[in-house]
Amino acid sequence: MFLTFEGIDGSGKSSQARMLADHLRGLGRDVVLTREPGGSAGAEEIRRLVLEGDPDRWSAETELLLFTAARRDHMERTIEPALAAGKVVICDRFADSTRMYQGMSRGNLRPLVDQLHKLMIGREPDLTVLIDMDPEIGLSRAKGRQGTEERFEDFGLELQQKMRSGFLALADEFSDRFRVIDGNRDMDSVARDVTDVVLQSL
């Protein structure tokens, strides 16, 4: 089973992905917890290129190629082998993030994103958990981390608002595989809901 977490920056999805992995391991499942951009040696190198530096370091088109290259490597080396071995793969962000961040942030590149996905990736998750979060709270949490990977946070609140409504629209578009969970609550309540929706689908 291939599970992905999506949401705006600071939505708490990475913590939820970790908690779900622990929970499923406790139930005896073999789980691979991974993330994008990254999740394989080559993709982690590309991660630094896309997440560090000035917001205008790359055009949206160049960025799309870099994220797709990272994803292709991640698929070949981490995700596909794990799924073939019968493991549960939990991935923190996947192609839906590209549909949003590269597809919507600087003009409408969604048709290009979809074409490239079809050509080079061609796989959707079995289940996608969207942690829905107030963009102001999300952004202040994300900025509070004081890291170096702030290129997207530096696009500001307006982008986060656009991403939030975009993700909700995407959840309607792919309603068969998306489950939306209210992230504006304490972590344990959110985690309980995540576990419920995942166990229903396993």
Residues in contact with ligand TYD by CB under 6 A are 9-10, 14, 36-37, 51, 67, 92-93, 97-98, 101-102, 142, 152
- Amino acid type, 187: M
How far is the C-alpha of 190 from the C-alpha of 195, rounded, in Å? 9
Least separation in angstroms between CB 48 and ligand TYD? 11
Least separation in angstroms between CB 177 and ligand TYD? 17
- Taking CA atoms, 18 is separated from 49, 79, 121, in Å, by 25, 17, 25
Least separation in angstroms between CB 64 and ligand TYD? 8
32 φ/ψ angles, rounded to the nearest 5 degrees: -110, 115
Smaller CB separation from ligand TYD, 75 or 142: 142
Q: What is the dihedral of CA 189, 194, 199, 202, to 10 degrees?
A: -170
Smaller CB separation from ligand TYD, 105 or 198: 105
- Closest by CA to 7, choosing from 103, 169, 132, 140, is 132
Smaller CB separation from ligand TYD, 18 or 179: 18
In the numeric block, the tokens 């995700």 are attached to 79
Least separation in angstroms between CB 200 and ligand TYD? 25
Smaller CB separation from ligand TYD, 30 or 158: 158
